[in-house]
C-alpha cells in the first residue's frame, strides 16, 4: 500500500476545513446567533466553496506583467490569479517576517479577489517601461 499523495492530502485538508466551517454554522444556529434562513445561505455559499478548490479563488482574473523596451523588445507575462495566490501562499512561508516590511499580502490578495482591477504598478525609465495590472 503506497503513501497518500500530497494532492490527496491537500484535498483532504480542504475537505476538513469546509466540514469544520459547516459545523460552526450549525452551532451558530443552535445558539440562536444565526437564523435558519441565514444559515441556509451560508451553507450554500460553503458548498460552492467546497465544490471548487480553495486555490481556484479569484479565477478568471489575470495578473499581467508587460515590459516594453525601446528597441522593440516586448515581454508579456500573464498569470492567473489562482496561480498567483497559490504562489504567494507558499512564498510567504519562506520569506522572513521582517523582509515583508509590514506588507499585508493577504489584504492585497483579498482586495484583488473583491474586484480591484487595473494598473497596480508602473515603472517608466529611459530604457524600459514596466506595467503590472490586474484584468
Residues that bind another protein (CB under 8 A): 2-3, 5-7, 9-10, 51-53, 55-56, 59, 62, 72-80, 82-83, 85-87, 89-90, 93-94
Closer CB to another protein, residue 74 or residue 101?
74
**Cβ-based nearer residue to another protein, 26 or 55:** 55
CB of 28 vs another protein, minimal distance in Å:
28
- H-type helices in 31-101, by residue range? 36-51, 81-94
Q: Identify the CA nearest to 75 among candidates 64, 84, 63.
A: 64
How far is 61 from 130, CA to CA, in rounded Å?
A: 19
Contact 67, 74 (CB under 8 A): yes
Q: Which is nearer to another protein, 6 or 121 (CB)?
A: 6
Amino acid at each position: 500500500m503506497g503513501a497518500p499523495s500530497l494532492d490527496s492530502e491537500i484535498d483532504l485538508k480542504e475537505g476538513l476545513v469546509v466540514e469544520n466551517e459547516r459545523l460552526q454554522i450549525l452551532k451558530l444556529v443552535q445558539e440562536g446567533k444565526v437564523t435558519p434562513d441565514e444559515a441556509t445561505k451560508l451553507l450554500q455559499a460553503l458548498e460552492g466553496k467546497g465544490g471548487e478548490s480553495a486555490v481556484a479563488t479569484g479565477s478568471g482574473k489575470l495578473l499581467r506583467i508587460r515590459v516594453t523596451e525601446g528597441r522593440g523588445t516586448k515581454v508579456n507575462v500573464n498569470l492567473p490569479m489562482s496561480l498567483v495566490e497559490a504562489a504567494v501562499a507558499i512564498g510567504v512561508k519562506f520569506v522572513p517576517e521582517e523582509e515583508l516590511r509590514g506588507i499585508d499580502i493577504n489584504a492585497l490578495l483579498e482586495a484583488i479577489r473583491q474586484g480591484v482591477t487595473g494598473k497596480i504598478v508602473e515603472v517608466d525609465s529611459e530604457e524600459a517601461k514596466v506595467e503590472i495590472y490586474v484584468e
